[in-house]
Amino acid sequence: MKLVSSKSTEAFLAGERIARLSVITLVAIGIALIIIGYWTQSLVVTADGIDSISDSMVSLIVWVGLHFSRRRPDARFHFGYHKVESLAALLVSVGMIGTASFILYRAYEAFLNPTEIAYPAIAMASLLVAGTISLYRAFQMRSIANKYRLLSLRTDASNSIKDGTSSFVAFANVLGASVFGIRELDAVGGMIIAVYIFGVAYVAIKESTLILLDACESPEMTSELTSALTAVDGVQGVSSIKLRPSGPYLRGIISVLVDESLTIARAEEMRRRLLDIVATIIEPIGEVEIVFRPKHHA
């Protein structure tokens, strides 16, 4: 039985809107910083611009994932398109590792041969503006993610907070390089941002791989489900709870123990009741099947 409520549809539409806005904002910030970085000859500003564009790819994955999650299964994809998000995340993460490696190499060269930053005031002002906009959008995204309990959007919000923070780190490096004359700090800032990108790529690769392999480890949710289901009149125990992620949804099979004399009419009434309870604990929920197994009395 598939349980996709109007609340879930509303959640995905709200998630799509903020994720789309995130893509546009981050791409615009990234392009602007790359141009300013080239003009001011600041590696850390350029690196922060590349980081913003890399983060926009994460938002793009979330946007695509939430969009495809609303598509119905068809003759070829019987279980829908929910894993498109995870596959795209894996592919983009590999590209992010290449981007971070390039920034790290350029930063190492700049560290060995530091150059003076031209127009440092412009560079610092650009980083402050970029960081402020990124953090504002990130907290707005996190608010929507928490409201609708969208895991992928919450992850994107955390990544966006990292992006805003990296801009302020870059600001500190440019300030140190221009005010205190430590030119190597510009390169050090680029290295720090490269490490940020490596970190985001690692988390994305790990999470997307686990989802593609159907890994689902949530003992708290399993315990909550067991307690809630066993409280239903007629349920004599929970035999097993098998869940797997599918895009933003969780789907699976729950086996409950019932009396051997349970009638079909009573079983269908209990099934609807159990599914309602499951839907209150797992949101958003995909296809969950309730299987009744007779409990043999000694």
Same domain flag for 112 and 66? yes
Same domain flag for 128 and 102? yes
pLDDT at residue 86, rounded to an integer: 76
User: Which tokens sit at 183?
Assistant: 């030119």
pLDDT at residue 1, rounded to an integer: 44
Residues 6+ apart with CB under 8 A from 126: 32, 33, 36, 45
User: Which tokens sit at 82?
Assistant: 């929910």
Mean pLDDT of 26-55: 92
142 falls in which pLDDT band (50, 70, 90)? confident
Collapse the DSSP code of 238 into the 3-class scheme (helix H, G, I; strand E, B; otherwise coil) and give the result: strand
79 falls in which pLDDT band (50, 70, 90)? confident
pLDDT at residue 254, rounded to an integer: 92
Please say which residue of 195, 212, 229 terminates a domain. 212
Same domain flag for 171 and 263? no
Same domain flag for 177 and 272? no
Residues 6+ apart with CB under 8 A from 2: 286, 287
Same domain flag for 279 and 172? no
40-66 burial code (b ≥16 CB/10 A, e <16): bbbbbbbbbbbbbbbbbbbbbbbbbbb
Mean pLDDT of 191-195: 89
The answer to whether residue 247 is domain-embedded is yes
pLDDT of 12 higher than 80: no
The domain spanning residue 56 has which CATH number? 1.20.1510.10
pLDDT of 173 higher than 70: yes
Helical residues (DSSP H) of the chain, grouped into ranges: 6-40, 43-68, 84-112, 120-148, 151-179, 184-212, 219-230, 264-281
The answer to whether residue 1 is domain-embedded is no
What letter represents residue 26's amino acid? L
Token pair 């801009």: residue = 167
pLDDT of 226 higher than 50: yes
149 falls in which pLDDT band (50, 70, 90)? low
Instruction: Evaluate the CA torsion angle 183, 184, 187, 192 in order and state its sign.
Output: negative
83-100, pLDDT tens digit by residue? 777 777 787 788 888 888
pLDDT at residue 297, rounded to an integer: 57
Q: Strand 249-258: give its sheet, edge to edge.
A: 235-246, 249-258, 285-294
Same domain flag for 63 and 165? yes
Same domain flag for 83 and 178? yes
Per DSSP, 181 falls in state: -
Please say which residue of 151, 185, 212 terminates a domain. 212
Collapse the DSSP code of 217 into the 3-class scheme (helix H, G, I; strand E, B; otherwise coil) and give the result: coil
Same domain flag for 101 and 156? yes
Print the domain residue range for 23: 6-212
Same domain flag for 235 and 199? no
The answer to whether residue 62 is domain-embedded is yes
133 falls in which pLDDT band (50, 70, 90)? very high
The answer to whether residue 69 is domain-embedded is yes
The answer to whether residue 141 is domain-embedded is yes
Same domain flag for 200 and 256? no
Higher pLDDT, 31 or 209: 31
For residue 198, with 0-12 CB atoms within 10 Å meaning exposed, 13-18 middle and 19 or more buried, which class applies?
Answer: middle
Distance of CA 9 to the CA centre of its chain: 18
pLDDT of 140 higher than 60: yes
The domain spanning residue 263 has which CATH number? 3.30.70.1350
How many structural domains is the chain composed of?
2
Please say which residue of 176, 196, 212 terminates a domain. 212
123 falls in which pLDDT band (50, 70, 90)? very high
Maximum mean pLDDT: which of 60-69, 240-249, 250-259 = 250-259
Q: How far apart are CA 129 and CA 126, in angstroms?
A: 5
pLDDT at residue 127, rounded to an integer: 94
The answer to whether residue 201 is domain-embedded is yes
Same domain flag for 165 and 267? no
279-293, pLDDT tens digit by residue? 888 766 778 899 999
Same domain flag for 176 and 284? no
5 falls in which pLDDT band (50, 70, 90)? very low
pLDDT above 90 as % of the chain? 29
Mean pLDDT of 192-202: 85
Helix axes 43-68, 6-40, angle to 10 degrees: 160
The answer to whether residue 107 is domain-embedded is yes
